[in-house]
Amino acid sequence: MTRKRVLKISLIIAFIMALIYLITSMNIYDKESLTEFFSTGSEDTNFSVFFTVATTILIIFFVPISWLNALGAYFFGLRGFSYIAIAGVIGATVSFFIARVFQEDAMKFVEKIYNRKKRKVSLEEVTEKIDKFGMGYVFFIRSMPFIPFSIANFVSGVTSIRYRDYLVGTILGLIPGQFITNLFFTKAVGFKENPIAAIGAAGLKAMYVIIVLLWQKKSKYRTKE
């Protein structure tokens, strides 16, 4: 076995061990546990930095970005969106290059996580379309709800897409959806104080979802049913 192969296997084991630790010690796939985790540091003056760094790590380890956005809205209001955007882009970049280095090994691991639920779209189909359409399809899957954000990061890394195209597609797809989601969560938290604003945010969120679904129906990237 070559030294390079030994190093790759060691890093894969380290990644899996870190994931096991996060699950067993922090229960990162439980919303209440995550809320409690962040609440412990919410009074710290550097909480925004802590939140951004922790969120970046959690995105790499497949925690849904929608959960983290809700927490950002809860702790920071609209300001939380900027932390989610930063963490989302950094997490997407790190995951992309992890997959680019480990290729098939990373893909096998991601497939196991992705296929724990019944899915309409296979990862093979997603990789083929990223290879074919590049930045446009990355933008599409960032805007559509059919593939988790963290999964898309790793899947993109095993394709032939250039990092620059991946990054642009990610930013363009991430910012509008996550901003509207953050706005919705922020206004929902303050529903009692300002119900009209909360209803308006809900309406904007609903409008965005409708536009996205209509685009999905008409788009050339439309997934097979």
pTM score, whole prediction: 0.85
Give the integer Cα–Cα distance in Å for 74 and 134. 35
Residue 129 forms part of a structural domain: yes
Q: Token pair for residue 123?
A: 């990862």
Residue 38 forms part of a structural domain: yes
3-state secondary structure of 45: coil
Nearest to 72 by CA among 90, 94, 89, 87: 87
Residues 170-220 pLDDT 10s? 999 999 889 988 888 888 877 677 788 778 877 887 888 788 777 767 776
Residues 77-117 pLDDT 10s? 999 999 999 999 999 999 999 999 888 888 888 998 898 88
Residue 223 forms part of a structural domain: no
Residue 224 forms part of a structural domain: no
Q: Token pair for residue 101?
A: 């280095």
Residue 225 forms part of a structural domain: no
- Could you please report the per-residue DSSP string of 26-48? I-TT-HHHHHHHHHTTTTSTTHH
Give the integer Cα–Cα distance in Å for 135 and 131. 9
Nearest to 71 by CA among 57, 89, 84, 53: 84
Q: Which residues constitute the domain of residue 43?
A: 3-218
**Is the pLDDT reported for residue 223 higher than 70?**
no
Domains: count for the chain? 1
